[in-house]
Copies of this chain bind each other. A is one copy, B any other.
């Protein structure tokens, strides 16, 4: 005899007497979380529909009531991963304490954004890879993941792909750059180029640290990260101002 539906609800749903419109509390959410677990262990390609359903205790095809196909699930997991990335950045930003020098502080916040990015990549390589794995990898439609999509809300009701502040990773980067603009350490004309440069550089270093440069001692990695971010900032900052 298998579990009855109500039993499943008790097992899977978060305990509390939360009213549930569907047979299974919130299968959509449960599947995304199961998929996140799979992605954490094995990257985007480890997200397997049948296994996710199995972990939730539901038949394989039940997933098709919530996702049109596998790539849909992967994308939902990717959005969650993007949220986690943004939260990692926010955590680094929270450690920035003002020093009086506006320019230095602004640059410091840019560095914090980068550090949050890289630290997330290193601590959650599977989710990181998932966040940036294009749905069909080759036919990427262009434009970064943005909140324009029609995706369900996050677990805690936040904006899809956003961190606790409600901002997505690229928005946090943009905010840091705007801070540099205000502080006068970045030319307005360079802002968009700077965004690309910073993002690309940090992304590239993350890839390197996860791949060819993996296995280095954490301290060596940390030193590498600092030197790298220093280089990026040095390149971005207006020539005359530092």
Contact between chains at B143 and A212 (CB < 8 Å): yes
Render A164-197 as a binary contact track against B, CB cut-off 8 A, 1 for contact: 0000000000000000000000000000010011
Contact between chains at A196 and B214 (CB < 8 Å): no
Tell yes or no: A50 within 8 A of B by CB. no
Tell yes or no: A154 within 8 A of B by CB. no
Tell yes or no: A234 within 8 A of B by CB. yes
CA distance in complex: A201, B140 (Å): 21
| Chain B residue at minimal CB-CB distance from A144 | B212
Contact between chains at A197 and B231 (CB < 8 Å): yes
| Chain B residue at minimal CB-CB distance from A137 | B43
CA distance in complex: A238, B92 (Å): 30
Tell yes or no: A213 within 8 A of B by CB. yes
Contact among B42, B204, B214, B236 with A142 in the assembled complex (CB-CB below 8 Å): B214
Contact among B125, B197, B206 with A228 in the assembled complex (CB-CB below 8 Å): B197
Interface of A is mostly: helix
Most chain B beta-carbon neighbours within 10 Å: one of A45, A138, A228: A138
Contact between chains at A132 and B211 (CB < 8 Å): yes
- Shortest CB distance A18–B (Å): 35
Tell yes or no: A89 within 8 A of B by CB. no
Tell yes or no: A227 within 8 A of B by CB. yes
Most chain B beta-carbon neighbours within 10 Å: one of A43, A144, A215, A235: A235
CA distance in complex: A84, B200 (Å): 23
Contact among B129, B142, B213, B215 with A196 in the assembled complex (CB-CB below 8 Å): B213
Residues of B with C-beta under 8 A to A232 = 235
Tell yes or no: A141 within 8 A of B by CB. yes
Render A194-228 as a binary contact track against B, CB cut-off 8 A, 1 for contact: 00110111111111101111111000000010011
Chain A residues close to B by CB (< 8 Å): 41-43, 45, 125-126, 129, 132, 134, 137-138, 140-145, 193, 196-197, 199-208, 210-216, 224, 227-228, 231-232, 234-236
Known: A200-B201, A204-B204. 6 other contacts (CB 8 A): A42-B137, A134-B211, A196-B228, A197-B205, A200-B228, A203-B208
* 7 closest residue pairs by CB, A with B: A204-B204, A142-B215, A144-B212, A200-B204, A235-B235, A200-B205, A203-B204
